[in-house]
Chains A and B, each alone.
Chain A
Amino acid sequence: MKHKLLVFALLIAICLSKLPLENSLTATLRRQKLLDTGLDLSMRESLGQMGFAASLGGLRSLIASISYLQSYTAFENLDWGTVDSLMTLTTRLQPTEPTYWEEASWHMAYNAASNYLNNNELRAAIRNKLFRDHVNRGISILDEGLRYLPDNPRLLMKLGDIYRDRKPDPKLAAEAYLNAYDHGAKSFYERMGAYELVKLNDRTSWEKAYAILKRYYDSGARYASIMRDLPILEAKLEIPVEKRVPVPTKAP
Chain B
Amino acid sequence: MTESITTQKYKAFSVIRIWTLAANTVTQLLRMRILAFLTVFSLIAIAAGFSFPTMSPEQQLKLLKDVSFGSLQIFSIVIAIAATSILIPKDLEDRTLYTILSKPVPRYEYLIGKLLGVLLLIGGGLLIMDLILSAVIWIKQSLIITGQIAALKQEQSATPENVAAIKMIIGKYGLTWGVHAGVFAVFLKASVIAALSLLISSFASSTLFTIVVAFAFTIIGHGQQLLRDWFLHDTLSSGFGKIISGLVVIICPDLKLFDVVDKVITGEIISAVTLASMGGMATLYIVGYTATAYLFFVDKEL
A6, B295: Cβ atoms under 8 Å? yes
Segment of B15-23, B52-60, B109-117, B140-148 in the binding face: B52-60
Segment of A9-17, A108-116, A189-197, A216-224 in the binding face: A9-17
Residues of A near B291 (CB, < 8 A) are: 10
Main SS of chain B's interface residues?
helix
What are the interface flags for B71-91 relative to A under an 8 Å C-beta threshold, 1 for contact and 0 otherwise?
A: 001100000000000000000
Segment of B1-9, B95-103, B128-136, B262-270 in the binding face: B262-270
Asked if B183 is at the interface (CB within 8 A of a chain A CB), the reply is no
Asked if B212 is at the interface (CB within 8 A of a chain A CB), the reply is no
Residue of A nearest to B64 (CB): A65
Residue of A nearest to B203 (CB): A7
The answer to whether A35 and B256 touch (CB under 8 A), given A56-B219, A72-B55, is yes
How far is it, in angstroms, between the C-alpha of A11 and the C-alpha of B291 when the chains are bound?
10
A53, B249: Cβ atoms under 8 Å? no
The answer to whether A34 and B284 touch (CB under 8 A), given A62-B67, A72-B55, is no
Residue of A nearest to B228 (CB): A22
Main SS of chain A's interface residues?
helix
Asked if A169 is at the interface (CB within 8 A of a chain B CB), the reply is no
How far is it, in angstroms, between the C-alpha of A229 and the C-alpha of B72 when the chains are bound?
56
Chain A interface (Cβ within 8 Å of chain B)?
A: 3-4, 6-7, 10-11, 13-15, 17-19, 21-23, 25-26, 28-29, 32-36, 38, 53, 56-62, 64-65, 68-69, 72, 94, 96-97, 99, 103, 186
Chain B interface (Cβ within 8 Å of chain A)?
A: 52, 55-56, 58-59, 62-63, 65-67, 69-70, 73-74, 161, 165, 189, 218-219, 222-223, 225-226, 228, 232, 249-251, 254-263, 265-266, 268, 270-271, 274, 277-278, 281, 284-285, 288, 291-292, 295-296, 298-299
